[in-house]
């Protein structure tokens, strides 16, 4: 009986801690979205309150859609994020398959070299990256951002996917070879479907820093035609006057794709995280 009570108390404490963390994590999101539907005076007068019929206002969203090309910024962010994630998943999965499946000289060293990319921020090489993009005439293009974000996301993708691919049955892969499948067919038809939870985990962890990044769009693609959502939101922030209605509305619109992605991949994400924890 005492063990059951202790287990129940521990479970309750864990749930309380998780609920508290969830509330803390979601509080800024709630604050941003709620205040985006208020008038300017209501934002400063009652920042923690829900919009009321008296304080409700869509002026922020109207400003976002009229001032600047927010639709274009949104499209740029979608293109950069989707293409970068696709390249990270493709190249990361291929590299992870090679490192986990084949034994060659320098295999371990290559894995450690890629792992360094997780520990060393890519922003330390901003000057060299900018010089390379200038030499390649890629400044103010979405290609520059895609290349940087792909390089940024590959180390984590290789690290996570290689661990999952080592758990794929060798008998399954050998059976495919006996049936005449090529290594590419084994990779795409046998291995990738079995590591979908890990792929979803990598996709979510890769998307968030790309979508929210301000540094590289400001350095590599500050032109009006290549601005992303995060950079485009800065047009409402001035030195002396800040249009908080527009800023909060723009940020609320920017949050929406992240929430949609999480809802779509939440089951795969949880499976990937829990499987990694078991390992």
Question: Looking at residue 186, which CATH number applies to its domain?
Answer: 1.10.3720.10
Domain end (from 56, 71, 101): 56
| Biggest CA-to-CA distance, the chain | 72
Per the structure, the complete domain to which residue 27 belongs is given by 1-56
Of residues 271 and 248, more confidence is placed in 248
Do 11 and 51 lie in one domain? The reply is yes
Do 152 and 199 lie in one domain? The reply is yes
Closest among 27, 24, 18, 60 to 42, alpha carbons compared: 60
Do 179 and 220 lie in one domain? The reply is yes
CA-CA distance, 161 to 187, in Å (whole number)? 13
Do 49 and 93 lie in one domain? The reply is no
For the chain, the straight-line distance linking the first and the last C-alpha, in angstroms and rounded, comes to 32
Angle, helices 196-212 vs 70-101, to 10°: value is 140
Q: Which two tokens stand for residue 218?
A: 């400001």
Do 118 and 21 lie in one domain? The reply is no
Place of tokens 């895609």: 146
Question: What pLDDT digit, counting tens, does each position of 99-137 carry?
Answer: 888 777 777 787 777 777 778 888 888 899 999 999 999
Do 108 and 219 lie in one domain? The reply is yes
Do 261 and 124 lie in one domain? The reply is yes
Question: What pLDDT digit, counting tens, does each position of 23-52 carry?
Answer: 888 888 888 888 888 888 888 888 888 888
Do 72 and 44 lie in one domain? The reply is no
Do 39 and 134 lie in one domain? The reply is no
User: Per-residue DSSP letters for 220-260?
Assistant: H--STTT--HHHHGGGGB-SS-B-HHHHHHHHHHHHHHHHH
Place of tokens 């540094």: 215
Do 127 and 23 lie in one domain? The reply is no
Do 80 and 198 lie in one domain? The reply is yes
Flag the least confident range among 89-93, 110-114, 272-276: 272-276
Give the chain's domain count: 2
What is the 8-class DSSP label of residue 50? P
pLDDT at 174 over 90: no
Domain end (from 12, 31, 56): 56
CA-CA distance, 100 to 134, in Å (whole number)? 37
């Amino acid at each position: 009986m005492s063990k059951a009570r202790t287990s129940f108390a521990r479970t309750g404490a864990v749930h309380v801690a998780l609920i508290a963390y969830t509330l803390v994590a979601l509080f800024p999101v709630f604050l941003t979205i709620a205040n985006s539907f208020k008038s300017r005076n209501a934002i400063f007068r009652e920042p923690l309150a829900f919009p009321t019929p008296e304080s409700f206002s869509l002026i922020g969203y109207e400003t976002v859609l009229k001032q600047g090309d927010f639709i274009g910024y949104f499209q740029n962010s979608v293109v950069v994020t989707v293409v970068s994630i696709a390249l990270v998943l493709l190249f990361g999965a291929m590299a992870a398959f090679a490192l986990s499946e084949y034994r060659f000289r320098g295999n371990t060293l290559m894995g450690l070299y890629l792992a360094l990319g997780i520990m060393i921020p890519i922003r330390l090489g901003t000057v060299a990256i900018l010089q390379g993009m200038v030499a390649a005439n890629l400044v103010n293009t979405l290609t520059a951002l895609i290349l940087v974000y792909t390089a940024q996301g590959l180390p984590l993708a290789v690290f996570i996917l290689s661990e999952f691919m080592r758990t794929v049955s060798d008998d399954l892969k050998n059976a495919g070879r006996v049936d005449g499948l090529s290594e590419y067919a084994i990779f795409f038809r046998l291995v990738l479907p079995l590591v979908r939870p890990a792929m979803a985990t990598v996709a979510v962890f890769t998307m968030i820093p790309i979508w929210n990044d301000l540094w590289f769009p400001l350095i590599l693609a500050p032109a009006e035609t290549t601005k992303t959502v995060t950079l485009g939101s800065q047009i409402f922030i001035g030195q002396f006057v800040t249009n908080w209605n527009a800023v909060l509305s723009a940020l609320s619109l920017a949050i929406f794709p992240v929430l949609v992605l999480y809802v779509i991949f939440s089951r795969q994400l949880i499976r990937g995280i829990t499987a990694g924890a078991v390992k």
